[in-house]
Every structure is written in structure tokens, then in C-alpha cells.
Amino acid sequence: MTAEHDVTRRVLEQVDLLAERMVSSLADAIAIPSVNPRYPGQEYDKIVGAEGDVSALLGDLYAEAGAEVTKVTVERGRDNACGVVSGAGGGRSLLLNGHVDVVPPGRLDRWRGDPFRAQVTDDAVIGRGATDMKGGLVAAAYAALALRGAGVRLAGDLVLQGVVGEEVGDHEAGTTAVLEAGFGADAAIVCEPSGQAGTLPASVPVTPGLLWFSVSLEGKTAHSGLRGMTVHPTLEGDALGVNTVDKFWVVYQALRALEDDWARHNRHPLFPPGYFNLLPGVLRANPSGILVPFFLADELVVEYCVYHHPDRSNEEVMAEIESRVMDACRTDPWLREHPPVFEWKLLWPPYSLPDDAPLSATLVGAHTTATGGQPPLTTGFMGVCDLTWMDRKGIGGLVYGPGVGYTAHAENEYVEIAQLVQSAKTYALTAIDWCGLAGER
């Protein structure tokens, strides 16, 4: 057996030996209800601080792995944990990044138990954040622990990050803050979930663009008994009243038609046909100051979430959306004179790693070795992540991590234990190949 094969064997064995403890650490992390305090609908003062508690848990694991640990804090109680396992010198550095914040648990009656008390089965860990993405954070920490347990000293630095803010795009308090504090690297793996049920994690070099916007419509209220006279143009029509709920369908149909156009013509080889979409996720309509249906609704606000093709800029897609809506509204006499008002709330640019980037081959090789010869799938990412903001700081990378993607943000979210173990092995072997071993030339 060559020295290189012996190192690989020792590291893989260490991960297996640590697997039970890794699951326990994940359960501990899930027990901390680190809902992002800036998530819409949350009471900031009541929940702020839990993100920092998860960072502290990770910091202890980083220190045990031999890292020098630093807290980077932009907002009190929202600490980022940064650990650097210093290399001997002469190697490339690698960053393993993940976010400590989670989304609210949703409807508690739909959970099989307390979402913040992990349920551990023979093959999975269930709880809020198990997939998105405390599983990935814990797997990264245990990769570093396995390297130390196997007696491996890297040539380049291994940088570990647990950051706040990702769920609302608050990268200035999280990933961007730690990068600006000096905790960067030559390449990055964001440990977000990249698997599905019964699979191992995939290699993900590309993410879509994300937009959040609202459209507001103005109507004219009137008594509910007059609706018939307002909707038939041969009668009173707009002069008597305008119900914004009716007018919304002009906007809805325009954007639904655009969504169909994207499904037919706006495709990408790493995303399933129809993936790029425009979701009308929140709708509020009512007569001004009144929540009974005895009046025509003269106010309406609809909020959309958009995932768009990674080869298109946010600005291009924004212009297309506004153009489609305004063109449709010009066919309606009322909307022509009372056009909708757009408000763009979150703009998250897409990200793509170049095809020839060396990190991809390194990770594929590590995954393949850890599985005994099975290479990973290569796919597009289901959502967005902090790779976008790393790219702004000149750091390229990809997504690879444990989790069942379709359970993210859902009730009974879970991660498969096999994916946790596989991810830790892949991170550790990627670090060995990418960073090099001390003493090698």
C-alpha cells in the first residue's frame, strides 16, 4: 500500500468511527432554534442570539480539530464562527462554508414531533435545519476532526465557516463579513444540500438567479351589490368601481405566459425543463382598511419569487418581467391609466463555476474514492447560496453537501445519515488533494 493510499484509508476510517458522534452533534445543533431574526414575520428581539449559539457549537468542534477560531460579529448576538487549520505551507487553501440560520418551522401540527428536537432513526435525522443546512456544517467540522484523528497535516490552510444571515440574503452580516475580515481561500465548497432521497450528494457548479418583487394595483371601491354593473362593460364599468382581484388576472396571465415561454425556450443542461419559474407566493387584496367582502377591493399587492436562468443577468430578467406586465396592462382600459407599481426587494445574482475549474475534478475524484468508484452526479442547485457573494470577492467554488433538497423549508425536514458520512469523507479527501500534504513537493 502506498503512503497516499494509507492516508486515504486512515481518514475514511476516522469518519466512520466518528459517524455516531457526528449525528449527536447534528442533533445538538438542531436543538438550537436559530431562526433568522430578520426573516419576515419574526420578532427580532425575541429570537436574536440563537445563530451565535450554533456558531459557538461549531467553534468548539473547529478548535478540537486544531483550528484557530475567531468570532466575526457585525450584529450583536449574530456571531460568525471562523476556524483556520493552518497548513505547513506551500499548498492551496480550501474554504468549507455554511450558514447557521434556519427558516421558521411552519405549521407545528404537521411535524411528527418538535422541529427543534431532532428525531434520529436508523438512517436519518429529522428536524428544522437538518438538511438546510446544519447537516453540511457538522459534516464539514467532522471532516476536519477526521483529518486530525488520522494524523494528517495539510500543506495549505483549511478554513471553516459557520455564518449568519443567508436565509434572507444578509451576506453583509455573514459570508461577506467574514471574507472581508480575511477568512478567504483559493477555492470554496458551500456545504448546502445537493442530494435527494436515496442518493448521495451531487456536485453543483451552477446556481440560478433569484428575484423577489411585489406588484401593487389600485382599484375603485364600491358596494358589493354593484359588482355586476362594474364587470360588464356594457353597463357602468370602471366609472362605478374596479375590483383589483379581477385586474390581477391580467398580471397573473402575463407572467404565467412568460413562465411557459421559459419552460419551452429558456433551458439549461443542468436544470430540469421548467425549473426556471415565477411564483406568486403572497397575495393581499381588500377594500382599504376593511377585511370583509362587502366592497370591491381597491388595494392589491402580490409578491413574486423568481428563479431564472444562470446565463441571464438580474437586470435583463427584471426588464423582461416589467415589459411583459406593462404590455398586458396596456390592453386593459383601467390598467392603462392606472399601471401597476413594481418594488424590487431582493436581487440575488446567479453563479457559475467555469467548466475547467480544477476544484471540480478534485471534488469528483474525492467523492469517487470515498464511494469506492461511483462518481457524483453533476446538477444545478435547487436554490441560491453564498457562492454568489464569494464570487464577488474573487473566490470560485461549488455546492456539495448532505440533505434531501425537497424537504428544505418544509415540515419534517430530514437528512440521511449516509449523506452526512459521505459528505464528511468527500470534504476530507478534497482537502488532502487540493491543499496537499505537509512535506510533499
10-residue block means of pLDDT along the chain (441 residues)? Answer: 84 98 98 97 96 98 98 97 97 98 96 97 98 98 98 98 97 98 98 95 98 97 89 74 96 98 95 96 95 95 98 98 98 96 97 96 98 97 96 97 95 98 98 90 40
DSSP designation for 225: G
User: Under CATH, to which class is 3-207+350-435 assigned?
Assistant: alpha beta
Fold agreement between 3-207+350-435 and 209-348: no
The question of whether 433 is a catalytic residue gets the answer no
pLDDT score recorded for residue 234: 63
Catalytic residue among 132, 157, 166, 413: 166
| C-alpha distances in Å from residue 203, one per residue of 144, 246, 437 | 20, 45, 24
* Pairwise CA distance, residues 440 & 152, whole Å: 12
Domain ranges of the chain: 3-207+350-435, 209-348
pLDDT score recorded for residue 233: 65
Asked whether the beta carbons of 402 and 133 are under 8 A apart, the reply is no
DSSP designation for 159: E
Distance between first and last Cα of the chain: 20
Asked whether the beta carbons of 72 and 181 are under 8 A apart, the reply is yes
Asked whether the beta carbons of 219 and 297 are under 8 A apart, the reply is yes
Which residues face 189 on adjacent strands?
A: 96, 398
* Global pTM value: 0.94
What phi and psi values does residue 322 have, to the nearest 5 degrees?
A: -65, -40
Angle at CA of residue 172, ends 99 and 53, nearest 5° = 40
* Pairwise CA distance, residues 270 & 375, whole Å: 16
* Pairwise CA distance, residues 179 & 164, whole Å: 13
Dihedral (CA of 144, 425, 402, 170) sign: positive
* Pairwise CA distance, residues 26 & 54, whole Å: 10
The question of whether 101 is a catalytic residue gets the answer yes
Asked whether the beta carbons of 12 and 370 are under 8 A apart, the reply is yes
pLDDT score recorded for residue 441: 40
Catalytic residue among 101, 192, 386, 416: 101
Q: Report pLDDT digits (tens) over 109-144.
A: 999 999 999 999 999 999 999 999 999 999 999 999
Tell how strand 378-380 and strand 203-207 pair up. Answer: parallel
Task: State which CATH number among 3.30.70.360, 3.40.50.620, 3.40.50.2000, 3.40.50.1100 fits the domain covering 209-348.
Answer: 3.30.70.360
* Pairwise CA distance, residues 421 & 413, whole Å: 18
